[in-house]
Amino acid sequence: MADDFDAIVVGAGMAGCAAAIRLAQGGANVLLVERGAEPGTKNLSGGILWGHDLDRILPNWWKEMPVERHIVRKAFGMLTADRALCFTYDDPAWGQSPYVAHAVLRARTDAWLAKKAEEAGATVVASVPVEKLNWEGTRVHGIVQGGETMTAPVTLLCDGANSRLSLGTPIRPNARLDGATTELGMKEVYRLDAATLEERFQLTGDEGHAEEWICGLFPPKVMGGGFLYTNHDTISVGLILNIQSMFGTDARSPDLMERFKLHPAIARRLRGAELVEYGAKLISSGWASRPAAFSGDGWMIAGDAAGFVYSSGIVIQGMNYAVRTGLEAAETALAARSAKDHSAGRLAEYDRRLASSGVIGDFRDFEKMDRVKWNPRFYQQYPAMTAALFQRMMTETGGPKVPVRKLLDQSRRAAGMSRLRLARDAYDLYRFF
């Protein structure tokens, strides 16, 4: 009996929408299934979209997509309980179109992308939570929902970080994710009229500002990074938390969020703004959260579901990798359709594409970053030490000047750091960069 579709894509996030658009553009009869009432309603990002991968399917997408602001400035810093140390990068080139990055709200962008998939010829169905894959031995032959089976020779799993379709199957033999392979993302959106927001962040027109922070203001052991991004007339503010670091402490994620927002450096940006939305979501922890394989007989896995999100605790990039891996899976499915062969051997082309497009190389490199990014000293001693150093370097007290070298040594000792530790951490950083 003929299959219902040429390809089924589960999940209308960045990965699934990009894949469905490309498949439909390539002439495939594709079904895109989303569990949310509308595409985008279940999705959450900080969210800075580095969207160049979208150029491959939607040239000039940024002119039409409901993006918020194009980013012209990025700031990066450390927070202690009451101090802030921040470096800012302003780049006039970022203000030229085509822009390098945009602040986005996923409820808008994903709904727009799903519409583009529909316009390209895909069948898009929302409010359908796919229950499981239709396994026939070692082959995946479509999906099962509500006792009904929809078949296709190839199924793309783009179902996000907590990929229930793959958990407990040969794709991801563990039935559950754990704290080592997931992080927790939290976000709140605050409304502030556009004129006040532009004045406060020194922006003109559609310019946007992004900042990311190492949070040295949490209780001992707890590790996390914070972000603040400007939208058109709202501000997105949130945290990425290391779940494991919270085990055995009495830290509660909502309290950590309050601490972050009440820090003077953050609170003054949010003054007068009104909370309009909040949410939380798991984040795959990069290479450590990868599945047993990226493709097999009748299936491929892309985006967060495959662990392709890079989070360094301060920088997070997942939407770009979701689009890229969704597109590589779609190209593989189109080639398989032409060859009338959807076997594991044929779909292994996806793995080769992941390598040649740089994704695998990036994630192997990012793995080295894990040692650095979740090093507790970066969330305790280093913010304290750096803030103490800068406080003394930048404050004129009327007394004799102390050489910076001596100040550094004093701050190091006050933070309880040995020279050897400092050298080891510096070496780890060097190895990553």
Contact flag: residue 324 with ligand FAD (CB under 6 A): no
Label each residue of the chain as H, E or C. CCCCCCEEEECCCHHHHHHHHHHHHCCCCEEEECCCCCCCCCCCCCCEECCHHHHHCCCCHHHHCCCCEEEEEEEEEEECCCCEEEEEEECHHHHCCCCCCEECCHHHHHHHHHHHHHHHCCEEECCCCCCEEEEECCEEEEEEECCEEECCCEEEECCCCCCCCCECECCECCCCCCCCCEEEEEEEEEECCHHHHHHHCCCCCCEEEEEEEEECCCCCCCCEEEEEEECCCEEEEEEEECHHHHCCCCCCHHHHHHHHHHCHHHHHHHCCCEEEEEEEEEEECHHHHCCCCCEECCEEECHHHHCCCEECCCCEECHHHHHHHHHHHHHHHHHHHHHCCCCHHHHCHHHHHHHHCCHHHHHHHHHHHHHHHCCHHHCCHHHHHHHHHHHHHHCCCCCCCCCHHHHHHHHHHHCCCCHHHHHHHHHHHHHHC
Binders in 215-274 for ligand FAD, by CB under 6 A:
238
> With binding defined as CB under 6 A, does residue 142 bind ligand FAD?
no
Closest approach, Cβ 273 to ligand FAD, in A, equals 18
Nearer Cβ to ligand FAD (165/336)? 165
Closer CB to ligand FAD, 65 or 161, in the complex: 161
Shortest Cβ distance from residue 297 to ligand FAD (Å)?
A: 20
* Cα–chain center distance at 67: 17
Nearer to ligand FAD, 45 or 386 (CB): 45
The least CB distance from residue 329 to ligand FAD, in Å, is 11
Q: Which of 7, 8, 15, 24 binds ligand FAD (CB under 6 A)?
A: 15
> Residue 158, interface with ligand FAD (CB under 6 A)?
yes
Q: How many residues bind ligand FAD (CB under 6 A)?
A: 41
Q: State the minimum distance, in angstroms, from the CB of residue 397 to ligand FAD.
A: 41
Binder among 9, 19, 24, 44 for ligand FAD (CB under 6 A): 44
Binding mask 356-395 for ligand FAD (x = CB under 6 A): ----------------------------------------
Interaction of residue 121 with ligand FAD, rule CB under 6 A: no
Tokens 């949410």 belong to which residue?
Answer: 279
Least distance to ligand FAD, CB of residue 323, Å: 8
Region of 63-71, 303-311, 336-344, 398-406 interacting with ligand FAD (CB under 6 A): 303-311
Stretch that binds ligand FAD, among 6-14, 90-98, 198-206, 401-409 (CB under 6 A): 6-14
Is residue 329 near ligand FAD by the rule CB under 6 A? no
Find the shortest distance in angstroms from Cβ 43 to ligand FAD: 4
- Rounded to whole angstroms, the Cα distance separating 91 from 69 reads 15
Nearer to ligand FAD, 34 or 211 (CB): 34
Q: Does 157 bind ligand FAD (CB under 6 A)?
A: no
Of residues 185, 225, 291, 307, which one binds ligand FAD by CB under 6 A? 185
Applying CB under 6 A, which residues contact ligand FAD? 10-16, 33-36, 42-48, 129-130, 158-161, 164-165, 185, 187, 238, 281, 283, 303-305, 309, 316-320, 322
